[in-house]
């Protein structure tokens, strides 16, 4: 007997069809996952029937015996307050900043018509979702809680009125890898103990494989395949599904075949970086304390860690694009000068690629000018014609057609922007790239293609890569070695296979668990 049944659902936004003929059913205690890239209509399928999106639904969506499609707003509101709970993606912004956790919990509790909860009721409710110090949390404002704590509080509020169905829209995407597993485990527990039906929206196939009973894979608003999650992830029935599964890196994949590496290229020793405390206060906050690492010619080294572990700061210090207090960075036995003294011949060696493709390109510059910028400064001897030729050749190398040269960044997709950023990094013929979460902001398929491109370039140009990521599976796919960072220190380092198979440090183990082995 299913709790929530969707049949032939269509959703239109401003007349445009964004969900077409979607159907699925969620039973008590069951988890159904809606998977797909961004823009596949998975959130709309979940939210529109409940009147939580501007989309206009048609078809059928029944909660128990109640038909949601065509119900008036007041009825939908009652149903939301009584029978359904929602958890959204961004825990940092999903709580009302000026109301205490207790006030918001009590509000959610009362919506189903229940009498106001006593203080001990609320403490028990927060304790149940694993929030520490529940007694104190009740009187705190949301900004005092961390992201993980806020997501727990939100889940506590979402189930406070004892709903039958919980809809979780990317509940862990905004959280650190190590927290993701914990929150997903909490949702599993609630499902088991309360017989809660869980409708999970996620782009993360690996997580879906671990937690969902059934899977509905969407693409462009249509169902590509649906059925038992384990079977469909092991052997997808559609071409799109196969592509998606193949592009999703997993720790259980066979080890990649990586070329041999050469002599040591870059040697960072005992690097310390600190920042002044904000405002007029004295003292500094240490972000990196005594990190050392080596990168060899043609080697891909992954620098892995949670947010705030100092991995980006270390990478910037190494590339001489950020502050460095103590320690030195050697390039083939020559010490690199400090940030302000980086002459063109040094700058040429290491080039960066960043996470956010949209912010990586100056919105007012044409693609050709963006790519030519390093040439203008790092190889000033080059004539205009040579420069244009090099830009064209580099565009080709990153698989972008030549007519992209005179486009502006706003006319590019995320993947295309990231390719332009890679082209800009490549054009001065560096020997090492620093990639700061370069694929994290991209959809799985796009990220997969960018990873393939990076691997191809690495082999062709014998490039060294310093690959900063929070995702061990991605690191494993591309990198020879992995260095794990926590609280400003490198806590473990070694060959990728070894690190993943037998993690020694607690931080590494946490990351491996989070990636689901």
Partner 1 sequence: MRALLFRRLLTAIPTLLCVVVLSFVLMRLAPGGPFDGERALDEETRAALDAAYGLDLPLGEQIILYIGRIVRGDFGPSLVYRDFTVSELIAQGLPVSLTIGGLALLLSCALGIGGGLWAAVRAGRWQDEAVMGAATLLTALPVFVTGPLFVLIFALGLGWLPVSGWEAGSPSHLVLPVVALALPFAGAIAKLTRAGLAKALNEDHVRTARARGLAESQVIARHALRPALVPVASYLGPAAAGLLTGAVIIETVFALPGLGRYFVQGALNRDYPLVLGVVTLYAGLIILFNLVADLIYGWLDPRMRAE
Partner 2 sequence: MNRRATPDNPRTGRGRPGRIPLLIVAAIALAALVVPPLLPWTHSAIGWDAVRAPLFAPGHLLGTDTVGRDLLARTLVGTRVTLAVALAAALVALIIGTAWGAIAGWCGGRIDEAMMRIVDGLYALPFMFVVILLMVVFGRSIVLVFIGIGAVEWLTMARVVRGQVIALKERPFVTAAEAAGASPVRILTGHILPNVAGVALAYLLLTVPQVVMVESFLSFLGLGVQEPLTSLGILVKEGADDMDLQPHALLIPGGVLVLVIVCLTIAGERLRDRLAR
Residue numbers at the binding site for partner 1 (CB under 8 A): 50, 52, 77-82, 85-86, 88, 90, 93-99, 107-108, 111, 141, 143-144, 154, 157-158
Q: In whole angstroms, what is the distance from residue 42 CA to residue 35 CA?
A: 7
Q: What is the smallest separation between the CB atom of 148 and partner 2, expressed in angstroms?
A: 23
Cβ atoms within 10 Å of 231's Cβ, excluding its own? 12
From the list partner 1, partner 2, none, which binds 139 (C-beta under 5 to 8 Å, kind-based)?
none
Beta bridge partners of residue 7, listed in sequence order: 60
Site for partner 2 (CB under 8 A): which residue of 149, 360, 368, 439?
Answer: 360
From the list partner 2, partner 1, none, which binds 352 (C-beta under 5 to 8 Å, kind-based)?
partner 2
Measured in whole angstroms, how far is the alpha carbon of residue 306 from the centre of its chain?
12
Residues 97/116, Cβ–Cβ less than 8 Å: no
Residues 118/134, Cβ–Cβ less than 8 Å: no
Nearest to 11 by CA among 21, 2, 1: 21
For the chain, state the CA radius of gyration: 25
Cβ nearer to partner 1, comparing 80 with 137? 80
From the list partner 1, partner 2, none, which binds 54 (C-beta under 5 to 8 Å, kind-based)?
partner 2
352 is a site residue for partner 2 (CB under 8 A): yes
Stretch that binds partner 2, among 25-33, 113-121, 356-364, 492-500 (CB under 8 A): 356-364
Cβ nearer to partner 1, comparing 2 with 75? 75
Q: What is the smallest separation between the CB atom of 465 and partner 1, expressed in angstroms?
A: 36
Region 254-283 residues binding partner 2, contact defined as CB under 8 A = 276, 279-280
Cα end-to-end distance, the chain, whole Å: 33
Site for partner 2 (CB under 8 A): which residue of 10, 419, 424, 481?
Answer: 424
Cβ nearer to partner 2, comparing 248 with 428? 428
417 is a site residue for partner 2 (CB under 8 A): no
Residues 6/25, Cβ–Cβ less than 8 Å: yes
C-alpha distance from residue 116 to each of 106, 113, 135 (Å) = 7, 9, 17
Cβ nearer to partner 1, comparing 97 with 283? 97
- DSSP strand E in 419-503: where? 432-436, 464-469, 481-486, 489-495
Strands 464-469, 264-276: pairing is unpaired
Binding residues vs partner 2 (CB under 8 A): 13-14, 43-44, 47, 53-54, 276, 279-280, 316, 319, 321, 342, 344, 347-348, 350-352, 354-356, 359-364, 373-374, 376-378, 421, 424-425, 428
């Amino acid at each position: 007997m299913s709790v929530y049944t969707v049949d032939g659902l269509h959703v239109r936004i401003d007349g445009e069809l964004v969900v077409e003929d979607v159907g699925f059913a969620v039973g008590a205690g069951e988890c159904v996952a809606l998977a797909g890239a961004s823009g596949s209509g998975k959130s709309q399928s979940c939210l529109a029937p409940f009147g939580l999106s501007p989309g206009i639904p048609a078809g059928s969506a029944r909660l128990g015996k109640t038909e949601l499609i065509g119900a008036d707003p007041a009825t939908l509101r009652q149903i939301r307050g009584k029978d359904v709970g929602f958890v959204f993606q961004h825990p940092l912004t999903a709580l009302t900043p000026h109301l205490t956790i207790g006030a918001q919990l009590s509000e959610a509790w009362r919506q189903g018509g229940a009498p106001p909860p006593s203080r001990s009721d609320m403490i028990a409710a927060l304790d149940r979702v694993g929030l520490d110090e529940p007694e104190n949390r009740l009187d705190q404002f949301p900004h005092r809680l961390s992201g993980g704590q806020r997501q727990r509080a939100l889940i506590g509020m979402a189930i406070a009125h004892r709903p039958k169905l919980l809809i979780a829209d990317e509940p862990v995407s905004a959280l650190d890898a190590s927290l993701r597993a914990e929150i997903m485990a909490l949702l599993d527990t609630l499902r088991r103990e309360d017989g809660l039906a869980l409708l999970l929206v996620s782009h993360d196939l690996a997580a879906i494989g671990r937690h969902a009973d059934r899977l509905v894979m969407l693409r462009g608003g249509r169902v590509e395949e649906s059925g038992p999650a384990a079977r469909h992830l092991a052997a997808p029935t559609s071409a799109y599904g196969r592509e998606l599964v193949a592009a999703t890196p997993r720790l259980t994949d066979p080890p990649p075949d990586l070329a041999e590496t050469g002599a040591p290229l870059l040697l960072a020793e005992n690097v310390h970086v600190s920042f002044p405390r904000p405002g007029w206060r004295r003292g500094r906050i240490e972000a990196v304390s005594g990190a050392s690492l080596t990168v060899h010619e043609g080697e891909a080294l992954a620098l892995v860690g949670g947010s705030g572990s100092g991995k980006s700061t270390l990478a910037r210090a190494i590339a001489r694009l950020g502050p460095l207090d103590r320690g030195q960075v050697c390039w083939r036995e020559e010490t690199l000068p400090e940030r302000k003294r980086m002459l063109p011949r040094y700058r040429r060696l290491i080039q960066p690629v960043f996470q956010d493709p949209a912010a990586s390109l100056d919105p007012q510059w044409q693609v050709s000018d963006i790519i030519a910028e390093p040439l203008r400064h790092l190889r000033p001897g080059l004539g205009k014609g040579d420069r244009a030729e090099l830009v064209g050749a580099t565009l080709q190398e990153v698989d972008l057609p030549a007519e992209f040269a005179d486009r502006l960044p706003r006319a590019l997709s995320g993947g295309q922007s990231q390719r332009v950023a890679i082209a800009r990094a490549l054009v001065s013929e560096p020997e090492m790239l620093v990639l700061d979460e370069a694929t994290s902001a991209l959809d799985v398929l796009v990220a997969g293609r960018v990873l393939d491109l990076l691997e191809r370039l690495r082999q062709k140009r014998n490039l060294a890569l310093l690959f900063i990521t929070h995702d061990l599976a991605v690191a494993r796919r591309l990198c020879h070695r992995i260095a794990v960072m926590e609280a400003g220190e490198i806590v473990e380092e070694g060959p990728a296979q070894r690190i993943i198979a037998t993690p020694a440090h607690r931080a590494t183990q946490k990351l491996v668990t989070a990636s689901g082995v």
